[in-house]
Homo-oligomer: A and B are copies of this chain.
């Protein structure tokens, strides 16, 4: 009993610190000289971080190698062109066996990122270049994107849409009420370069802009500012009417324009470094400019003009589709392409990675690269809405890299390159945080937050590199163990795809809560494009969504540039991983490996389950090599994951079998009835309380 009570304490002591969990013992000495004022809040963070790392820490007033061995230099001359957030970092041999370090930056923010880079490299055992060496070349880093931002889908009532780690870290009972250890959130973000946060849900409550609420937002902004994190707000397009009492929210209405300008001025009076607005408009029932016969551009530009004098931006979401619009995957393109070039220069269009909705695998959204006169940015999802919640080990960097590096064939650019070289550049992701002690509901889910930040800073990092960094900072530095854990992480997303939605299937999950398999759902009166059958189209004649140019396909392929268009259009050339996204194929259609669609589905669903079993075996071999509570947590979660992988396999394959009339090659753990019952009898959040 005693142990049982002590152990949770130990977990707390570790994983609530995120990737600061596996801190090394303090060692070495640091005499810091800094060009920054002692009163600078960022300087204070820097000092605290260095003091936490070195066993002896002093602040000195002279930047001389004799006195200081750590120099923070503000380069007013901008000699190194480091920009608002870049840094230069190097060592210098000043005496035998004494290496001093220098961080050069143009801003406190740059210095802070340099310090976090220094600490990370030290923790990872990476060599910091010593300039006198023949190979010595200072590290110079500048973030790839200006805005590296989390989207919290947190509601004022404290609930979190698609949150699997408890309640909101920002709100409770209609008010701002942030976690007392919010500094951990801030330093975690800063340590990986995240510099923005939208604290409220894109399904925005108008009252987020109420004076009372803004007072609360100001307190958040004040706490995050030292860490170079700006606050942004998701706003409801109907706020002028709903909150301001106007008769309309028409973006061309003068009163509306005035209302927004005043509201923006009010915000900046409270929060001088306020970032701007995120807007979900005319999407899934939310209001927007089209309600008034205006366009997305009219709406976005109106807000942008209000923000512009203050340096704020508008992130306008392209996640739009309507029930009558035909193939949902095509709609954002249709709605936005005609507006290309019509957006103000402080508007950026925020596009989900895929054309539907954060599925385990989607092709990239064809808007990337296609909008040539419009600023665009990617929206990823860290929270595992469709990937097993915070119960499944699913490292997402592999998925993101697949997306980011995919060639668009627009001007020879990869997807991510199409969002660079703009006046405003940004990279966003929906957060997976909550009030649970460990922030994310699963230690392994923290890795995705970490990975998002690292990729936003440097999209060229590999998924494996990032995984390794995270494991070493969070769990252990033992090389073999690190590699073993990375191996699991690297394959985990494909495993999830295999047991949930292999070879291009998508949107098979449970109604509303998006949990578990529910390809069979039929809800009277429901929007057809919210039902799995709209997507899988399983029938006696086969399975998959014909988005090709042939046989009455939706011709979504047309939105892609050649050669992708032709490649996707041909079931033989279409990547196997996406084939049922683009094609409706007979159950006995043969792929080049001599296996039918049916056999391939069996292979993948079984394969996914087997991968999880393998993860379990591999993880079991780490007993004693990772902190006991992490070992136990992952062990327990893998049990849940295996069970749910089996459930997915059983539910989907038995359901598909009703059409294919072909044999299964496994013994289901669950009957169809049990699959359905499991979905209905217990919600995820209820289950979390067990």
B592 near A577 with CB under 8 A, answer yes
Contact flags (1/0) for A473-503 with B, using CB distance below 8 Å? 0000000000000000011111000000000
Complex Cα distance, B493 from A552, in Å, reads 34
Given A562-B563, A563-B566, answer yes or no on A398-B463 (Cβ-Cβ < 8 Å): no
A609 CB → nearest B CB, Å: 16
Judge whether A636 is part of the interface by a CB distance below 8 angstroms. no
Complex Cα distance, B595 from A492, in Å, reads 10
A590 near B462 with CB under 8 A, answer yes
A188 CB → nearest B CB, Å: 25
Of A491, A563, A564, A566, chain B has the most CB atoms within 10 Å of the CB of A563
A464 near B572 with CB under 8 A, answer no
Judge whether A409 is part of the interface by a CB distance below 8 angstroms. yes
Residue in B407, B462, B494, B594 whose CB lies within 8 Å of A491: B594
Given A407-B570, A407-B572, A572-B405, answer yes or no on A398-B594 (Cβ-Cβ < 8 Å): yes
Complex Cα distance, B562 from A566, in Å, reads 9
Contact residues of A between 384 and 414, Cβ < 8 Å to B:
398, 402, 405-407, 409
Given A398-B590, A493-B594, A594-B490, answer yes or no on A566-B462 (Cβ-Cβ < 8 Å): no
| CB neighbours of A407 from chain B (8 A) | 566, 570, 572-573
Chain copies in complex: 2
Given A405-B572, A407-B572, A572-B405, answer yes or no on A463-B590 (Cβ-Cβ < 8 Å): yes
Contact residues of A between 603 and 619, Cβ < 8 Å to B:
none
Judge whether A76 is part of the interface by a CB distance below 8 angstroms. no
Contact flags (1/0) for A560-577 with B, using CB distance below 8 Å? 001111110010110111
A49 CB → nearest B CB, Å: 33
Complex Cα distance, B464 from A462, in Å, reads 42
Contact flags (1/0) for A492-531 with B, using CB distance below 8 Å? 1110000000000000000000000000000000000000
A465 CB → nearest B CB, Å: 11
B566 near A409 with CB under 8 A, answer yes
Judge whether A97 is part of the interface by a CB distance below 8 angstroms. no
Complex Cα distance, B595 from A494, in Å, reads 9
Complex Cα distance, B594 from A490, in Å, reads 5
Instruction: Report the nearest B residue to A574, measured CB to CB.
Output: B575
| CB neighbours of A405 from chain B (8 A) | 572
Judge whether A593 is part of the interface by a CB distance below 8 angstroms. yes
| CB neighbours of A577 from chain B (8 A) | 592-593
Complex Cα distance, B567 from A671, in Å, reads 43
A406 near B572 with CB under 8 A, answer yes
Instruction: Report the nearest B residue to A489, measured CB to CB.
Output: B594
Residue in B490, B491, B563 whose CB lies within 8 Å of A567: B563
| CB neighbours of A593 from chain B (8 A) | 491, 494, 577
Residue in B494, B563, B567, B588 whose CB lies within 8 Å of A594: B494
Complex Cα distance, B76 from A138, in Å, reads 90
Residue in B490, B570, B592 whose CB lies within 8 Å of A590: B490
A550 CB → nearest B CB, Å: 12
Complex Cα distance, B406 from A588, in Å, reads 19
A366 CB → nearest B CB, Å: 15
Complex Cα distance, B402 from A461, in Å, reads 37
Given A564-B563, A572-B407, answer yes or no on A490-B595 (Cβ-Cβ < 8 Å): yes
A595 near B491 with CB under 8 A, answer yes
Of A494, A565, A567, A592, chain B has the most CB atoms within 10 Å of the CB of A592
Complex Cα distance, B409 from A244, in Å, reads 60
Contact flags (1/0) for A268-289 with B, using CB distance below 8 Å? 0000000000000000000000
8 residue pairs, one from A and one from B, having the closest CB atoms: A563-B563, A494-B593, A490-B594, A491-B594, A563-B566, A398-B594, A402-B592, A494-B594
A sample of 6 inter-chain contacts (CB < 8 A) reads A407-B572, A409-B566, A463-B594, A563-B566, A563-B567, A563-B573
Q: Give 12 new A-B contacts, CB below 8 A, not counting A407-B573, A462-B590, A464-B590.
A: A398-B592, A406-B572, A407-B566, A407-B572, A409-B566, A463-B594, A464-B588, A490-B590, A491-B595, A494-B593, A563-B573, A567-B573
